[in-house]
Chain A
Amino acid sequence: QKEVEQNSGPLSVPEGAIASLNCTYSDRVSQSFFWYRQYSGKSPELIMSIYSNGDKEDGRFTAQLNKASQYVSLLIRDSQPSDSATYLCAVPSGGYQKVTFGTGTKLQVIP
């Protein structure tokens, strides 16, 4: 089993809709979780971090964490074409010094 698993997509949503991106992880002791956004040909950029069970909202983005189910998700409300990118789920491991990434989900927002 991979340490961090994501559906590679592409996930296509119409402009204005809610995009839901999901991630599961294998290490039960993980305490922090991150979402990075990577535009094509660019470097990953941290957009959300979450440490506690429940929801964390930042503008149009909401991260959801369920440690019992080992599941973390990212919701993007009012999706815009500029949100089209690959979204990477990342989980620290090895004493939090090493961050393990999922393969990423490619999101396409259709105008």
Chain B
Amino acid sequence: EAGVTQFPSHSVIEKGQTVTLRCDPISGHDNLYWYRRVMGKEIKFLLHFVKESKQDESGMPNNRFLAERTGGTYSTLKVQPAELEDSGVYFCASSQVGGGEKLFFGSGTQLSVL
């Protein structure tokens, strides 16, 4: 069974540019989460999809971040325009309905904004 896949694994962009991160959850997992870890800080929740619907986006930092999950399969997280403080590792995780707390994580995207 394929795990959660994310790409790119690394992205280096300049302040003001746009970056789009992609996550493919485990097939059949309706729950999809985005998390972010800034260096030295804890992994912080960004948002949660159930299928294509945003269940909770309380962790999204501001309106420069836009997440989508068209068709309830893969998800994208776009940062536009990127700022220096957006640098960090962005993790995607998925889980089955009813097994909500057991998260399967992708390997993350290391985003560096210069």
Contacts and interface: CB of A to CB of B under 8 A. Distances in A.
Q: Do A and B bind each other?
A: yes
Given A94-B56, A97-B48, A97-B55, A45 B105 contact: yes
B46 to A, nearest CB: 10
Contacts of B100: 92, 96-97
B101 A43 contact: no
Given A88-B43, A98-B48, A101-B43, A46 B56 contact: no
Interface residues of B, number: 24
A32 interface: yes
The interface centre, meaning the residue of A96, A99, A101, A102 with most chain B CB atoms within 10 A of its CB, is: A99
Interface string A46-71: 10010000000000000000000000
Interface residues of A, number: 23
Interface string A69-90: 0000000000000000000101
Interface in B23-58: 31, 33, 35, 41-45, 48, 55-56, 58
A46 B105 CA distance: 9
Interface string B42-84: 1111001000000110110000000000000000000000000
B48 to A, nearest CB: 6
* Interface hub of B42, B100, B108 (most chain A Cβ within 10 A): B42
A2 to B, nearest CB: 8
B106 A96 contact: no
Given A32-B101, A43-B105, A46-B103, A97 B56 contact: yes
Interface of A: 2, 4, 32, 34, 42-46, 49, 88, 90, 92, 94, 96-104
Interface of B: 4, 31, 33, 35, 41-45, 48, 55-56, 58-59, 91, 100-108
